[in-house]
Structure 1
């Protein structure tokens, strides 16, 4: 993690941080046989120098899509985030998950999680800024989860009000059941 960048983000938004090495949610079993079959071949395509976009497409997107279908969530990939923040923040979010209210409702509402595929520790500060913007966009500001992943290793954040909880545990892609048992409850949480 790049501590100076994270400290800057925390200071800029008046956030407090708690670091822990335990899950942010109570794990729940998620059906995953079909996903396991799909991912089996995908992991063989990933090597040390695979870029973020490839890992996002081959590993991260199928996992999020599986959960979106399972829990009837809306998933958007590569979405531009504009106009939500009083600070004038904007940018592209790798993956946004929101509760499905209606197919025509604006992307900005009901966001439950932001997922960033990064190859370095700069992902925490990047994801946290996007979580703050998402929190401001929600009609009912509340808890927002964040995920920073290389595709093979996953780490989680939670933003509730001005309190940020960082789970410093590295969760591996495989066995997928553990990862899904944590992601499922995060993605379907109501803001």
Structure 2
């Protein structure tokens, strides 16, 4: 069963998660001050992606660009993986391809310490992607436990490119932020992603 087939209800039941959905988890995170050049690129790329109006365009022109800027902001101390086969436990049906994974390592040739799972929302439906994202987060937690990585929380993102929703998994408690952030709040989005990597939120 690929990650994309999981619903929130299935993940909760199969992995014993407690779902928290009434908190603004990342409201207190300070926005990152983005360079004018980054904002200019977003002003160019976002309307283009929305005009083309395909998931591929949103992924290439918005999502990938934001993640590359995050990597640069963090002085390339994280690695980005796109479209990788993340088979963690087939018996638990935690297998399949992931849209993006951010790892707590500069090592780019192989995945070592996944900390953020990012899911591209299909048909611009954010809520439909949450189950998939939670399943990938559980898989990342299991992966880190096996590798002996000390990662207190695993984070998740479900995004259309223009709208971003954030999640947090600590132990068996899964928080789904009640707020959504729009790409016009790019500094805030970058701040949240950076805080996730630094494990300070």
Give the alignment's TM-score, normalised by structure 2. Answer: 0.83
CA distance in 1, matches of 2:24, 2:187: 17
Give 1:5's aligned residue: 7
> 2: CA distance between counterparts of 1:25 and 1:171?
10
CA contact (8 A) 1:80 1:90 kept: yes
Q: How does 1:33-72 map to 2 (within 5 A)?
A: 33=35, 34-47=37-50, 50-71=53-74, 72=77
CA distance in 2, matches of 1:83, 1:165: 22
Structure 1 runs (4+) greater than 2 angstroms displaced: 23-26, 28-31, 46-49, 83-86, 101-104, 139-142, 187-190
Contact preservation (8 Å) 1:23, 1:182: no
Please give the alpha-carbon distance, in whole angstroms, between the structure 1 residues aligned to 2:88 and 2:10. Answer: 22
> Structure 2 stretches of 5 or more lacking a match?
1-5
Q: 5 Å matches for 1:111-150?
A: 111-118=114-121, 119-120=124-125, 121-138=127-144, 139-140=148-149, 142-150=152-160
Shift of 1:27: 1.3
Instruction: Report the Cα distance in structure 2 between the residues aligned to 1:112 and 1:137, rounded to whole angstroms.
Output: 10
Q: Deviations over 1:37-77 (max 9, x none)?
A: 21110111133772222211110111111111221210111
Aligned mates of 2:58, 2:99 — CA distance in 1: 11
> Who is 2:29 aligned against?
27
* Separation (CA, whole Å) in 2 of partners of 1:44 and 1:103: 31
C-alpha separation in 1, matches of 2:14 and 2:195: 29
Preserved CA contact (<8 Å) 2:80 2:108: no
Match of 1:165 among 172, 175, 180: 175
SS at match of 2:53: coil
The answer to whether the 8 Å contact 2:50/2:58 transfers is: no
What's the C-alpha RMSD, in Å, of the aligned pairs?
A: 2.2
Once residues 21 and 174 of structure 1 are traced to their aligned partners in structure 2, the CA distance between those partners, rounded to angstroms, is 22
Aligned counterparts of 1:12 and 1:61: Cα–Cα separation in 2:
31
| Matched residue, 2:80 | 75
Q: State the number of aligned residues.
A: 185
CA distance in 2, matches of 1:46, 1:21: 31
